[in-house]
Amino acid sequence: MDYILDMQNISKTFPGVKALDGVQLQVKPGEVHALMGENGAGKSTLMKILMGIYTMDEGGSITFDGKPYRVHSPKEAMDTGIAMIHQELNPILDMTVYENIFVGREISKGGLVDKKAEIEEAKRLIAECGLHVSPTETLRNLTVAQCQLIEIIKAISVNARVIIMDEPTAAITDREVELLFGHIRRLKEKGVAIIYISHRMDEIFTICDSVTVYRDGKYVGRGTTQELDEAALIKMMVGREITDVFPKLEAQIGETLFEANHITRADGRVKDVSISVKRGEILGIGGLVGAGRSELVEGIFGMHRLSGGEIIVKGRKVHVHSPSDIIKQGVALVTEDRKVTGLNLSGTVNDNISMVAIGKALVNGLYSRAKARKLSAEYIEKLKIKTPSGDQIVGNLSGGNQQKVVISKWLLNDPDIIIMDEPTRGIDVGAKRDIYLLIGSLVQQGKAVILISSEIPELMGVCDRIAVMAEGHLSGELGREAFSQESIMRLASDIAV
Amino acid sequence: MENKKDIKALISEYFIFIIFVALVVVLTIMKPSFISGRNLGNILKQASINGILAFGMMFVIISGGFDMSVGSTLAFAGVLAALLGKGQVPLIVPMLVAMIAGLGVGILNGVGIAVGNLPAFIMTLGTQTGIRGLALLVCGGNPVTGLSEQYRAIAAGTILGIPNLAVFLIVVIIICSFVATKTVYGRRVYSCGGNVQAARVAGINTSFIRVSTFAIAGLLAGLCGFLMTSRVTIGQPTAGESYEMDAITACVVGGVSMSGGVGKPWGVIIGTLLITVIANGLDILGVSAYWQKIIKGLIIVGAVLMDVKGKGRKN
């Protein structure tokens, strides 16, 4: 069969870095083609070339539908037949569904927007997609998954023949993932090709037909999902064999360090939840997206008002009114969204690492750049943060390395209890493993860790105990001997009557 | 190649500084009297009030805010200082009263924004109008005249040949630069502007930081009111109109990012001097005031544009 998209010998050089070095990608019509590689492998660079955001170096060739393809802007790419659904969705939240669908290519009559025609067309597209929203609804009122489907509708409405999906499942629930996969299968039947970028192995094997792997800007290989297995894929991505995806280090479990009893949030999103964790122990918190896990730890951390419950740290009751109250007691929270609540993206690595424990970077009561640099150098080395220097702006680092910066920021404060909310979301296999090993070494040092994760294998691999939440309450707790996918899923879908 | 890259990075980092030096060289060639000690003293004097306002504005913008009210605050504080500066009261009294009045306006702004969750633009637009009214009210709309000899001498006098106004500016620059770059407080201002939510989660009292930056801007605007009254020898309730714009311009030209979290004190110094040198240079070249405005506008946009382009290439 002919390829709808054939990219050959693509290179892209940035000042000082070769982001892509003679890579290739071939996609057939009607297939879902996974593009894989660790962060920094060059996937997004390639997609940006395809969308006309970057220009490739001389010597490469792109053929689309048998014709040479050269675009200079995302609009041109869409007009030619290639659309992209970004990892960080960028809908215009205060505009309506139909306005979002037609933004940039409004249907007009004599220079005026033909609102009626737009609404009609939007209604048809929405129905075709099996979505139940009104075209005149404001996007702010929609869920992330619905917004994503609107993006897909937008891609369909331009008659895109290749749709790029960058981490489309990063922010949606399992049920919504199923819906999304349904839409992807329907697109396949229509002969639309999909380039699928994801770090989640199970998704790759569920929905994708073939895979192309890059490493450090170079093409490694390709294959079909039938002939490849998980271990082979990881080996291609990382360049070495990882036998043990979830390493667990032995640690001595001691006395209870932290208790949160009967936590109830004033906004009702968490109801009467009690958890505790011991020295040397890793407590997992599982549940579906929206079950109230992040809401629980944010409540404990003083970011939202509690209407009930008590917090006991190292045997002492703590009154928490703001994050600083609980930070002083030796508790740290690595928040879920590093870009929103974790990092000062315009600051340097040094600035960020010294944000919490700024007291350690002082000389005679004054902030010392030299001392901050020295402290952060220690963590850059310890956590293997890949950065040219501590003076690098954090926004320029890859996701996995940004996450390590957030963790360093908290570790510098020497906490005894570390809460991590989805610490491995959107980061690659190698960096994930580094984080598991780090968690292991923390509990070996006699600290306690609370780990929130949506990935059940991750929880089962790393934790000593798992508390499962559903609809804002605690639906059960399992010891390591009782771990199984089924038991966790059953508790996670336990709906209170 | 490494070396070449470093030079490029250095040029883009100090671009505004290079423009400034180039401008000084060009003006000196065209009119050698530009570089005379007397004219340099003049430039410092002209730069002083805008410079002090700009340093207050720097804290506000770096913390992620914006202050439209400093011009009105200056006028209000200036009128109060004039009312107290007529008789034989020691000068420290009108100075302190002016600064406290400015501080009050600043805290009002900060509380409205950080606690009341009003957009900075709206809140300070409100105080800009309201405080201007207050300035007119306390003096019944008439300029306050009859300042004491010693009060008038403040702006006119010099210390070791340096105009007193410039001395005030230099002291403010030293204190503000120190606070911004060396203290824990300064670091936290940058953290707030970079990502206010992350700062809060990191245990920083972000409301306090935001209120305090507006308080600093108000305090310095109050000081400027005191100095301005001495300089024009009357308490003018209509003084300082659009001064907030000049302060913001100095910050932005000096590389302070309007989205917060980014900016260096030396940049603000260069920004202030650049604006003053443009005005002064065109003055002594005999360019008409109308053309001066046009040229100033072009240079502001051009300088920042080239700066942005330079940085864009680096990434």
The model's pLDDT over A311-367, given as tens digits with 9 standing for 90+, comes to: 999 999 999 999 999 999 999 999 888 888 889 888 899 999 998 988 888 888 888
The DSSP output letter for B33 is G
Q: Which of A256, A263, A277, A270 is nearest to A466 (CA)?
A: A277
A409: nearest CA in chain B? B202
Residues 6+ apart with CB under 8 A from B285: B27, B30, B31
- Residues in chain B predicted with pLDDT less than 50, given as ranges, are 1-2, 312-315
- Identify all chain A residues contacting B189, using CB atoms and an 8 Å cutoff: none
Measure the CA–CA gap between A23 and A2, rounded to whole angstroms.
19
Cβ contact A340–B198 (<8 Å): yes
- Identify all chain B residues contacting A340, using CB atoms and an 8 Å cutoff: 195, 197-198
A13: nearest CA in chain B? B315
Q: Which of A354, A389, A352 is nearest to A368 (CA)?
A: A354
pLDDT single digits (tens) A145-175: 788 888 888 887 888 899 999 888 877 777 7
CATH class of A256-492: alpha beta
Q: Which of B182, B200, B257 sits opposite A367 (nearest CB)?
A: B182
Residues 6+ apart with CB under 8 A from A451: A282, A283, A284, A285, A420, A423, A439, A459, A462, A463
pLDDT category of residue A182 using cuts at 50, 70 and 90: confident
Beta bridge partners of A248: none
d(CA B261, nearest CA chain A) in Å: 7
pLDDT single digits (tens) A439-474: 999 999 999 999 999 888 899 999 999 999 988 899
d(CA A99, nearest CA chain B) in Å: 27
pLDDT category of residue A1 using cuts at 50, 70 and 90: low
- Identify all chain A residues contacting B198, using CB atoms and an 8 Å cutoff: 335, 340-344, 355
Q: Does the CB of B143 have a partner CB in chain A at under 8 Å?
A: no
Q: What is the pLDDT at residue A497?
A: 38
Cβ contact B187–A396 (<8 Å): no
The 3-state secondary structure of chain A, one letter per residue: CCCCEEEEEEEEEECCEEEEEEEEEEECCCCEEEEECCCCCCHHHHHHHHCCCCCCCCCCEEEECCEECCCCCHHHHHHHCEEEECCCCCCCCCCEHHHHHCCCCCCEECCEECHHHHHHHHHHHHHHCCCCCCCCCEHHHCCHHHHHHHHHHHHHHCCCCEEEEECCCCCCCHHHHHHHHHHHHHHHHCCCEEEEECCCHHHHHHHCCEEEEEECCEEEEEEECCCCCHHHHHHHHHCCCCCCCCCCCCCCCCCEEEEEEEEEECCCCCCCEEEEEECCCEEEEECCCCCCHHHHHHHHCCCCCEEEEEEEECCEEECCCCHHHHHCCCEEEECCCHHHHHCCCCCEHHHHHCCCCHHHHEECCEECHHHHHHHHHHHHHHCCCCCCCCCCEHHHCCHHHHHHHHHHHHHCCCCCEEEEECCCCCCCHHHHHHHHHHHHHHHHCCCEEEEECCCHHHHHHHCCEEEEEECCEEEEEEEHHHCCHHHHHHHHCCCCC
pLDDT single digits (tens) A110-130: 778 888 888 999 999 888 777
Residue A36 pLDDT exceeds 60: yes
| Phi, psi of A484, deg, nearest 5 | -160, 150
Ranked by mean pLDDT, the top range of A82-91, A97-106, A488-497, B152-161 is B152-161
Q: Which of A74, A57, A71 is nearest to A22 (CA)?
A: A57
Which amino acid appears at position A137 of this protein?
E
Cβ contact B190–A347 (<8 Å): yes
For chain A, which residues make up each domain, given as ranges?
5-238, 256-492
Q: Does the CB of B3 have a partner CB in chain A at under 8 Å?
A: no
Mean pLDDT on A92-105: 82
Measure the CA–CA gap between A454 and A267, rounded to whole angstroms.
23
Fold match, A5-238 / A256-492: yes
Give the sign of the dihedral formed by CA B110, CA B115, CA B119, CA B125.
negative
- Identify all chain B residues contacting A367, using CB atoms and an 8 Å cutoff: 181-184, 186-187
State ipTM: 0.72
Cβ contact B205–A322 (<8 Å): yes
Q: Does the CB of B314 have a partner CB in chain A at under 8 Å?
A: yes
CATH class of A5-238: alpha beta
pLDDT above 90 coverage of chain A, percent: 45
- Identify all chain B residues contacting A347, using CB atoms and an 8 Å cutoff: 190-191, 194, 261
d(CA B202, nearest CA chain A) in Å: 5
Which amino acid appears at position B75 of this protein?
A
Q: Does the CB of B35 have a partner CB in chain A at under 8 Å?
A: no
Residues 6+ apart with CB under 8 A from A454: A286, A288, A289, A422, A425
- Identify all chain B residues contacting A328, using CB atoms and an 8 Å cutoff: 203
For chain B, which residues make up each domain, given as ranges?
45-309
CATH of B45-309, one of 1.10.3470, 1.10.10, 3.30.420, 3.40.50: 1.10.3470
Q: What is the pLDDT at residue A495?
A: 54
Q: In the predicted model, what is the mean pLDDT of chain B?
A: 88
pLDDT category of residue A496 using cuts at 50, 70 and 90: very low
Cβ contact A346–B314 (<8 Å): no
| Cβ contacts from A onto B, under 8 A | 83
Cβ contact A355–B199 (<8 Å): yes
A407: nearest CA in chain B? B202
Q: What is the pLDDT at residue A484?
A: 87
Choosing among A358, A362, A393, A397, which should be mutated to test the B contact, i.e. which has the most B CBs within 10 A? Answer: A358
- Identify all chain B residues contacting A15, using CB atoms and an 8 Å cutoff: 5, 313-314
- Identify all chain A residues contacting B191, using CB atoms and an 8 Å cutoff: 344, 347, 351, 355
